[in-house]
Structure 1
Amino acid sequence: MAKPRVHEIASELGVDSKVALAKLKELGEFVKSPSSTIEPPVARKLRAALEAEGAAKPADAAPKPAAKPAAPAAKPG
């Protein structure tokens, strides 16, 4: 299993990376930045802590906005 990055877990749970970093600090984990990787057991602890706190939104409750089709390029001339 690959090590997830803090920002990946935060976006998966619908919280800001700063919230995830603060929660990791509360849990006693040393993480420098949102791009830091964490071990899978630490990722599970983070998910559980954020969900228990109620800070996390379920992934299906906050769907990503649909991509807009690209506008046709204007022809010069």
Structure 2
Amino acid sequence: MAAKPRVHEIASELGVDSKIALAKLKELGEFVKSPSSTIEPPVARKLRAALEADGAGSPAAAPAAAPASSGASRPAAARPGAAR
């Protein structure tokens, strides 16, 4: 018998946030409390199919690396009095 996967496992497998997976399950009429809840294998298949249909499983849908903040890409400025 197949093990029952957790919602967060499926979400990470597809590269989506757990909140998105929970919202999709609610949309599909499934009651799930939290990302650590287990779901039955048929429900897991239905969730994977629904998320992939929305484009969540494709590499193009994976969020790109967040742009660096204005100060993160520059080297740190020397502090006054700091030895080099």
Per-residue CA shift, 1:16-56, capped at 9, x if unaligned? 00000000000000000000000000000000000001123
AA in 1 matched with 2:3? A
Question: What CA distance in whole angstroms lies between the structure 2 residues aligned with 1:51 and 1:35?
Answer: 21
> Percent of counterpart pairs with the same letter?
92
TM-score (structure 2 length as normaliser): 0.67
**Unaligned 5+ runs, structure 2:** 63-84
Select the structure of larger CA radius of gyration.
2
**Is 1:5–1:36's contact at 8 Å kept on the other side of the alignment?**
yes
Q: Alignment length, in residue pairs?
A: 60
Question: What CA distance in whole angstroms lies between the structure 2 residues aligned with 1:2 and 1:50?
Answer: 20
Structure 1 runs of 4+ aligned residues shifted over 3 Å read none
Question: What CA distance in whole angstroms lies between the structure 1 residues aligned with 2:42 and 2:3?
Answer: 12
Question: What CA distance in whole angstroms lies between the structure 1 residues aligned with 2:28 and 2:17?
Answer: 17
Matches of residues 36-51 of structure 1 in structure 2 within 5 Å? 36-51=37-52
Partner residue of 1:20? 21
AA in 2 matched with 1:12? E
TM-score (structure 1 length as normaliser): 0.73
Partner residue of 1:31? 32
AA in 1 matched with 2:36? S
Q: Higher relative contact order at CA 8 Å, sep ≥6: structure 1 or structure 2?
A: 1
Partner residue of 1:55? 56
